[in-house]
Amino acid sequence: MIELIRELGFLVYRFIYDLGRFGMFALSVVKNLFVRPLRWRRFCEEIFKEGVLSIVIICVSGLAVGMVLSLQGYNTLIRFGAEETLGAVVGLSLVRELGPVLTALLTTGRAGSATAAEIATMVKDEQLDGLRMMSIDPMHLIVTPKAASMILVMPLLSAMFICCGLFGGWMIGVLLMGIDGGTYLTSMESSMTFADDVAGSLLKSVIFGILVGLISTYRGFTATPTSEGVSSATTSTVVFASVCVLISDYFITALWGV
């Protein structure tokens, strides 16, 4: 029993310790955003690595999700004779929920894990210490551009995901199932408002970008300097960031009704 309490106490302690450390880390990233020289070049490199290289997987996934959504939606709606609302169903689910969330999960797997692994490897090989010894702050040079670019990249990728999804949904609904193209688009357009749905979608993906960017860089930066440390930083980034995305998605939806 005493053992159990001690274990529990230790876990709580670890959690609070980690949370505090993560908070300090996040503050430091924010501070470093404004420290000169601004790392524009590094920022652009990261956008390329995290964003441009993810475009294919995002588009293919978006297309597939849109298509399956349309197929499932059609099969369900036709039971109620409401298949002309298919455009609204596909559009709203993609914009409000699936676009931002699935993009965040895919980006975590693709770019988040790569970011964590890259930084953890630099920790392991003492590259970051090497930078420190050259009077260059690795938080400023390496971490901040990576975290910041994720915040920009996430909404852009999410938008691409949604566009591909809408196209996939349209293909199935209109071309395959033979719903009238005009009906499909009108139902989608009239059910959606910019302020609510589109802006909300944007807000979600920005928050997910912050989460994934900070978690992946934090996990990499605090990795133990061994091969095992690198792999556990990568794994825990994927697990932790995915769970955080899903949980925060619930709260954003519940609180802001997005």
Contact (Cβ atoms closer than 8 angstroms) between residue 164 and residue 58: yes
Nearest distance, CB of residue 250 and other proteins, angstroms: 38
Residues 172-211 that bind other proteins (CB under 8 A): none
Whole-angstrom Cα distance, residue 217 to residue 135? 21
Q: Does 228 bind other proteins (CB under 8 A)?
A: no
* Torsional class of 133: left (φ above 0), alpha (ψ -120 to 50), beta (otherwise): alpha
Task: Report the site for other proteins in 117-156 (rule: CB under 8 A).
Answer: 121-122, 125-127, 129-137
Structure tokens at 253: 């939806």
| Shorter beta-carbon distance to other proteins: residue 4 or 133 | 133
- How far, in whole angstroms, is CA 171 from its chain's centroid? 27
CA–CA distance, 69 with 97 (Å, rounded to integer): 12
- Residue with Cβ nearer other proteins (7 or 129): 129
Considering beta carbons, is residue 137 or 197 the nearer one to other proteins? 137
> Cβ of residue 121: shortest distance to other proteins, in angstroms?
8
Size of the site for other proteins (CB under 8 A): 14
- Give dist(CA 123, CA 25) in Å, integer: 16
Least separation in angstroms between residue 107's CB and other proteins is 21
Of 125 and 228, which has the nearer Cβ to other proteins?
Answer: 125
In the complex with other proteins, the residue whose CB is nearer, 45 or 196, is: 45
> What sign has the CA pseudo-torsion 247, 49, 121, 30?
negative
Supply the minimum distance, in Å, between the C-beta of residue 1 and other proteins.
26
Nearer to other proteins, 116 or 154 (CB): 116
- We find the least distance from the C-beta atom of residue 127 to other proteins, in angstroms, to be 5
Q: Which residues contact 90 (CB under 8 A, 6 or more apart)?
A: 66, 69, 70, 73, 165, 166, 169, 173, 188
> What span, in angstroms and rounded, lies between the C-alpha atoms of 144 and 139?
6
Least distance from other proteins to the Cβ atom of residue 232, Å:
18
Residue 244 phi, psi dihedral angles, 5° rounding: -60, -40
Q: Closer CB to other proteins, residue 8 or residue 136?
A: 136
Shortest distance (Å) from residue 11 CB to other proteins: 19
Name the region of 224 (left: φ>0; alpha: ψ -120 to 50; beta: rest).
Answer: beta
CA-based R_g, the chain, Å? 21
Span 27-86, contacts to other proteins by CB under 8 A: none
The contact set with other proteins (CB under 8 A) reads 121-122, 125-127, 129-137
